[in-house]
Chains A and B, each alone.
Chain A
Amino acid sequence: MADLATEAAVDPANWTCPAPLRDQPVVVMGHGGGGALSAELIEQVFAPAYGNPTLAALTDSAVLDLGGARLAFSTDSYVVRPLFFPGGSLGDLAVNGTVNDLAMSGARPAYLSTAFVLEEGVEIDVVSRIAHAIGAAAEAAGVTVATGDTKVVESGHGDGVYVTTAGVGLVPDGVDIRPQRARPGDAVLVSGPIGLHGVAIMSVREGLEFGVEIASDTAPLAGLVAAMLAVTQDIHVLRDPTRGGLGASLNEIARASGTGVRLRERAIPVPDEVANACGFLGLDPLYVANEGRLVAFVPPEHAEAVLAAMRAHPQGAGAARIGECVAEHPGMVVVATGLGGTRVVDLPLGEQLPRIC
């Protein structure tokens, strides 16, 4: 290109790097996005500070031996905006999220705690509506809110209402469900259409209108898991693909187990409204958050029976077999496109960013 500046000759020994993301000195939004930045924060900050073999498993809930019982234990904070959205509220999420984290170990959730951080100036009515949503969601999930806490921060130091829930449940004998147990040959099942929660939140948070109302999929999954375990206790992996979506969850499983995952793009249930919204915004449905879906790795001999049990349950009516666990490309998720090509589904860096055009 004669009249244009050209790049300097490549000299790897002397390159200067302007990359601002190499060492993040401050927390950025992506650290909470459930992707690579979240994982680095855990690996580089939290694990060294209080790491132990139980924590190192990095599962949705820890499974602990306590007085002869196998206890699943989990905690999570909920900071969603807006507090109420189509299909649910902060209260629903705070219950279902923790219940689902317990269920992903195969546990029967039993008790929850709730901790509120309230910002000065929030209407009591708002707090009451969230509390009632928590009560209703707990009843629907079959768990008891056994203890709680409330703090208030000055106006401008919070975002209305934050809720943290912790929960415990019992893991039945003979059940051993964790990402490390994925095996080549396992069928990869998803319990229903993906992306509804993330798109529902975006539609109200950003004032985007997609022509149809999209409701969050938030729901408790412990009943669905019990129905699956009634078919076989030999379910290898369960994961609820929340932040980071299906793409992040499958990457975490692939990395934890040292196996690969092969998906068939056309088998993945993506609702039209999610596909359209994602197309409009330049997002990939595989990375959009869910709150009422699970992904399961099931030995092939049980796959069809488990799939049938899922479809017979209200929370699994749209279940589908979307791929397999493979020995090739360990740690990597690959999708066969509808046209017959392939692409890698990587762990997202942080939150997805809408494209310019």
Chain B
Amino acid sequence: MKYIDEFNDPDLARRLLEEIHATATRPWALMEVCGGQTHSIIRHGIDQLLPEQVELIHGPGCPVCVTPLDVIDKALEIAARPEVIFCSFGDMLRVPGTDRDLFRVKGEGGDVRVVYSPLDALDLARRNPGRQVVFFAIGFETTAPANAMAVHQARRLGLDNFSLLVSHVRVPPAIEAIMTAPECRVQGFLAAGHVCSVMGTAEYPELAERHRVPIVVTGFEPLDILEGIRRAVHQLERGEHRVENAYPRAVREQGNPAALSMLEEVFEVVDRNWRGIGRIPASGWRLSDAFRAYDAEYRFDVTGIRTEEPAVCRAGEVLQGLIKPTECEAFGTACTPRTPLGATMVSTEGACAAYYLYRRMADGPAQRGSRIPREELNSIG
């Protein structure tokens, strides 16, 4: 298939794998920042094919996973209001709040709708002048520009029944937080290609230099990921720590200027809580004062939210790369996609869900230490 098969070619993958096997002489721990990369790694079984010395650690880059509980509870409260049409990307509907999720609100009569773009929500606002349309604006630098555009358009069109519930987060402060953690094991990063396609790579050289880690901008198809790993291992073996762009078909150093100017006009940088991790300075965006009228938190009185996370859930440690999902006591037992304790088990991009869905090979629901024996691999297919 055009544009896809080229990046899924088994022969090329084999060559890249052979080079990674030949290059890696010592143990290296790389973090793929983005949940989409985690999903692709597990879906294609890439981690099973790497040499034992190369460990992939799953990063915090699942927007659904890191949206804080209090924001989800605010979403649930707003969505339950009769005057509201609450619009969200699909994978947020199943994320547990303190005592329910958006599917439940929908089942109880809330007007909750899955949209594929904030502009769809804007269109709903235009066609339903008597209703309040709220879009759940979550995600990283990837989704933020379109959400900024939606607000911009709403003001231009004079739509005063449209607002955003904003929980945007930024990747570079998260990398900084991970690298300054005392338990940090990460020695190199596969940076999220789509984030860099918006933001460019200007923020990374300083991070790479200060923490002496290679940062390789990496795409999402199997060959993209293998190439990212190959380059990162190559740098590590040589004692280098540069920023490399292994995703040049999508990423320019300067990013996307139109998207950047839209972000700058509509949002301002703030400290943000990350679910399971905590507060990271300058790691989020909110609507700037000029657009405050479109902020659902201001429009609807949703203060006084009280939240409580399950103590057993170790999603935060998973998100920081401190443990593998299978090392959590609840994995596959108390916590499954059917009964998720944390968002990492809910989102399809979440590391726990990815492990659960793609990596259970034993009879039981959970298999610890989930690397599949080589002989099993060879006997399949």
Contacts and interface: CB of A to CB of B under 8 A. Distances in A.
Given A4-B280, A5-B277, A337-B44, A21 B340 contact: yes
A346 interface: yes
A11 B361 contact: no
Contacts of B13: 339-340
Contacts of B309: 7, 18
B98 A18 contact: yes
A30 B182 CA distance: 43
B339 A10 contact: no
Contact of B181 (A2, A7, A10): A2
A276 B348 contact: no
Interface string A313-357: 000000000000000011110101111111110100100011111
B44 A15 contact: no
B277 to A, nearest CB: 6
Given A272-B1, A340-B45, A341-B46, A262 B380 contact: yes
A49 interface: no
A210 B46 CA distance: 29
Interface residues of B, number: 95
A276 B4 contact: yes
Given A6-B316, A356-B64, A357-B139, A343 B43 contact: yes
A28 B104 contact: yes
Interface stretch (B158-166, B236-244, B251-259, B352-360): B352-360
B63 A357 contact: yes
A124 interface: no
Q: Residue among A330, A334, A342 with the most chain B CB within 10 A?
A: A342
A329 B379 CA distance: 13
A17 interface: yes
B107 A346 contact: no
A356 B10 contact: no
B310 A339 contact: no
B177 interface: yes
A30 B103 CA distance: 9
B205 to A, nearest CB: 23
Nearest to A275: B1
B288 interface: no
Interface in B353-381: 356-363, 372, 376-377, 380-381
B91 A7 contact: no
B376 A282 contact: no
Nearest to B378: A340
B43 A337 contact: yes
A264 interface: yes
Interface in B311-360: 311-317, 320, 328-330, 334-335, 337-341, 347-349, 356-360
Contacts of A262: 380-381
Contact of A7 (B120, B140, B317): B317
A22 interface: yes
A12 B330 contact: yes
B101 A21 contact: yes
A11 B314 CA distance: 11
B361 A334 contact: yes
Interface in A191-218: 206-208
A146 interface: no
A1 B277 contact: yes
Given A7-B276, A28-B103, A354-B90, A343 B358 contact: yes
Contacts of B49: 339-341
B380 A336 contact: yes
A7 B107 contact: no
Contacts of A254: none
A18 B90 contact: no
B314 A20 contact: no
A206 B113 CA distance: 11
A346 B316 CA distance: 25
A14 B312 CA distance: 8
Contact of A336 (B106, B362, B381): B381
Contacts of A11: 311-312
Interface string A14-34: 111111111010111110000
Which of B106, B183, B348, B372 has the most A CB atoms < 10 Å from its CB?
Answer: B348
A355 B139 CA distance: 11
Q: Which 9 pairs between the two chains have the least Cβ-Cβ distance?
A: A341-B45, A5-B278, A336-B381, A15-B312, A1-B181, A353-B90, A343-B358, A4-B278, A26-B107
21 contacts: A7-B313, A9-B311, A10-B329, A17-B334, A19-B339, A19-B341, A21-B103, A24-B107, A28-B106, A262-B381, A279-B4, A330-B363, A331-B363, A336-B381, A341-B47, A343-B357, A346-B360, A355-B91, A356-B138, A357-B142, A357-B194
Interface of A: 1-12, 14-22, 24, 26-30, 36, 206-208, 262, 264, 272, 275-276, 279, 281-282, 329-332, 334, 336-344, 346, 349, 353-357
